């Protein structure tokens, strides 16, 4: 009996050692940064959905749905990036639905395609002609700065976050670590305040940080491939429900903010913003070809800004 008990204790110890051998959240972060640095190519799809609702207060300081303005914007972008070849392609579609008081709706859809080849950008929006823009900056400088590298930007933000390993899941058939990211409360405030400011524009809002934190939430999740340690999926959800203090408005005729004599709280603002990203086809050959009609356009070269020397 005593021998059996010893064997069971040893088995438990061995099991706990095996569990502890898995990578920590900090280990996964470091390995992800290294893997992204050595990446040669990848595909991506990104979607951002933003739902806004602004309900005006009536004379009794109450809100009602008949006096609400709603806005739903859905932006989708997908494409491929060849880091070794210094070229990329992206296709964008944006759908916007605005519903005013009384249920009056306005819908709009736009889209376009963009190629980034070396230091040249080819862009076509909707039914417009192709436009070619040649950057005077060298292609090596442009691509080393990760200007067109979405996955590098995402990994950089991950590296600046605190990560918590919350489990393991499959993403499109790949085994991944699921992590939860958190940032400084000041960064959260800046994020939520920017969304509120955009929703009430051209009015200028002021919200106490503690009040905004109390009436908002941010959840950021990341799925990292267990084999390559590259991000497979990223998701960020922001929910806000506040009554902002309006302290001014942007005067378009003067190009500056005009302050009100007395601040007001005319409406309740609710926002849900969801960003979802997926990455795939790591280190696979890419065939990115610019259409002939785009290549045939006259390149536009921005003129360098001349700076007058300061007199001593």
Average pLDDT, stretch 228-251? 95
d(CA 117, CA 87): 4
pLDDT at residue 16 is higher than 60: no
For the chain, how many residues are written?
312
Closest CA to 248 of 262, 237, 235: 262
| pLDDT for the residue 50 | 97
Q: Comparing 303 with 113, which gets the higher pLDDT?
A: 113
| pLDDT for the residue 307 | 53
pTM for the model stands at: 0.84
What are the tens digits of pLDDT across the range 60-81?
Answer: 555 555 678 899 999 999 999 9
pLDDT-derived band at 8, boundaries 50, 70, 90? very low
Residue 225 and residue 183 in contact, taking contact as beta carbons nearer than 8 Å: no
Residue 121 and residue 180 in contact, taking contact as beta carbons nearer than 8 Å: no
d(CA 272, CA 44): 23
d(CA 207, CA 189): 10
| pLDDT for the residue 47 | 97
| pLDDT for the residue 235 | 97
The CA angle 138-141-142, to the nearest 5 degrees, is: 85
What are the tens digits of pLDDT across the range 167-215?
Answer: 999 999 999 999 999 887 888 899 999 999 999 999 999 999 999 999 9
- Highest mean pLDDT pick, 9-13, 271-275, 307-311: 271-275
Q: Comparing 278 with 305, which gets the higher pLDDT?
A: 278
| pLDDT for the residue 7 | 44
Closest CA to 44 of 222, 236, 234, 287: 234
Average pLDDT, stretch 102-119? 91
Q: Respond yes or no on whether the N-terminal peptide bond of residue 202 is cis (omega within 30° of 0).
A: yes
Sign of CA dihedral 31, 37, 40, 43: positive
């Amino acid at each position: 009996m005593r021998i059996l008990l010893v064997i069971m204790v040893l088995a438990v110890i061995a099991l706990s050692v095996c569990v502890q051998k898995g990578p920590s959240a900090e280990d996964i972060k470091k390995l992800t940064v290294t893997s992204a640095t050595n990446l040669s190519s990848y595909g991506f799809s990104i979607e951002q959905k933003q739902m806004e609702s602004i309900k005006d207060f009536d004379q009794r300081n109450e809100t009602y749905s008949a006096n609400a303005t709603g806005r739903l914007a859905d932006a989708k972008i997908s494409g491929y990036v060849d880091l070794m070849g210094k070229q990329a392609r992206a296709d964008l579609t944006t759908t916007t639905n605005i519903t005013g008081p009384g249920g009056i709706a306005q819908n709009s859809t736009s889209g376009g395609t963009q190629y980034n080849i070396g230091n040249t950008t080819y862009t076509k929006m909707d039914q417009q002609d192709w436009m070619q823009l040649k950057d005077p900056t060298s292609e090596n400088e442009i691509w080393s700065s990760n200007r067109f590298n979405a996955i590098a930007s995402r990994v950089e933000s991950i590296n600046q976050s605190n990560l918590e390993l919350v489990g393991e899941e499959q993403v499109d058939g790949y085994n991944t670590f699921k992590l939860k990211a958190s940032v400084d409360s000041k960064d959260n405030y800046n994020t939520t305040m920017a969304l509120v400011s955009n929703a009430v524009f051209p009015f200028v809002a002021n919200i106490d940080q503690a009040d905004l934190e109390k009436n908002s939430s941010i959840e950021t999740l990341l799925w990292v491939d267990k084999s390559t340690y590259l991000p497979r999926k990223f998701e960020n959800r922001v929910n806000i429900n506040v009554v902002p203090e309006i302290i001014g408005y942007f005067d378009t005729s003067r190009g500056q903010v005009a302050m009100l004599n007395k601040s007001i709280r005319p409406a309740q603002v609710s926002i849900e913003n969801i960003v979802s990203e997926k990455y795939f086809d790591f280190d696979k050959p890419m065939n990115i070809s610019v259409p002939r009609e785009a290549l045939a356009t006259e390149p536009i070269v921005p003129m360098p800004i001349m700076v007058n020397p300061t007199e001593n």
